[in-house]
Amino acid sequence: MQPELVLASGSPRRRELLRSLGVPFSVHPSWVTEDVPGNPSPGELVEILAAKKALAVAHTRHQAVVIGSDTVVSLEGKILGKPVDEEDACRMLERLQGRAHQVYTGIALVEMDGGKVSRRLIDHRVTEVMVRNMTTDEIRWYVSTREPLDKAGAYGLQGIGSIWVDWIDGCYTNVVGLSLPLLYDMLKQLDYPMMTRSFSPERKV
């Protein structure tokens, strides 16, 4: 029997992205605190948090491959996570508009075998995103839609936020919260049999 695939995330975007692959999986959000000591680089930060999320859920499973992930925006050396409130979202968008920034997403896979961690993989990808100039009214209106409030950098490339994204350089799904090419490569390294699964895009999770 193949191990269960578990998505350790409460993010609806990650769930939709994984669902689009048609593989069966279950969802178990991790609820870990997203504070990391020291001064990690954006790449280190998303890898540490992805591993923290995956491990927290992995320890509740006997036989499984658990996926953890984390996304941050990096703007000229400053890390932007999710805004704490509407004012914070407005401030983030004011800083992002008119210049390019980088979106970092980390993925951790933790394989549990007989209740023990048997293998661990951690990696991340970076995508550059150019947000064009926004007027103050546009920023206020966009924040009033509430779309920015639960997203790193206070925008959603997959939603209304796409209006102001001029171009991206790199993986699209990495920006939305889970790089599917990277996930596929990592699952292959664990010999997870994606190709032998029957494809079922309508499967409910």
For residues 19 and 151, which CB has a smaller minimum distance to ligand TTP in the complex? 151
Handedness of CA 50, 70, 123, 35 (dihedral sign): negative
For residues 15 and 197, which CB has a smaller minimum distance to ligand TTP in the complex? 15
Task: State both tokens at 190.
Answer: 């664990």
Tell me whether residue 169 is one of the annotated catalytic residues.
no
Q: What are phi and psi of 176, to 5 degrees?
A: -75, -10
In order of 37, 63, 106, the CA distances from 49 in angstroms are 11, 22, 8
Residue 71 interacts with ligand TTP (CB under 6 A)?
Answer: yes
**Least distance CB 149 / ligand TTP (angstroms):** 10
Q: Which stretch binds ligand TTP (CB under 6 A): 16-24, 56-64, 166-174, 175-183?
A: 175-183
Residue 155 interacts with ligand TTP (CB under 6 A)?
Answer: yes
6 Cβ partners below 8 Å, 6+ apart? 25, 26, 27, 28, 57, 58, 61, 64, 65, 66, 67
On whether the CB atoms of residues 62 and 113 are closer than 8 A, the answer is no
Per rule CB under 6 A, count of chain residues that contact ligand TTP: 25
Residues 14-43: x where in contact with ligand TTP by CB under 6 A, - otherwise, as a string: x--------------x----x---------
Residue 13 interacts with ligand TTP (CB under 6 A)?
Answer: yes
Q: Which stretch binds ligand TTP (CB under 6 A): 55-63, 65-73, 91-99, 137-145?
A: 65-73
Task: State both tokens at 80.
Answer: 């932007």
- The residue behind tokens 């990277």 is 182
Q: Which residues bind ligand TTP (CB under 6 A)?
A: 9-11, 13-14, 29, 34, 53, 69-71, 73, 82, 103, 150-153, 155-158, 175-177
> Which residues form the catalytic set?
70
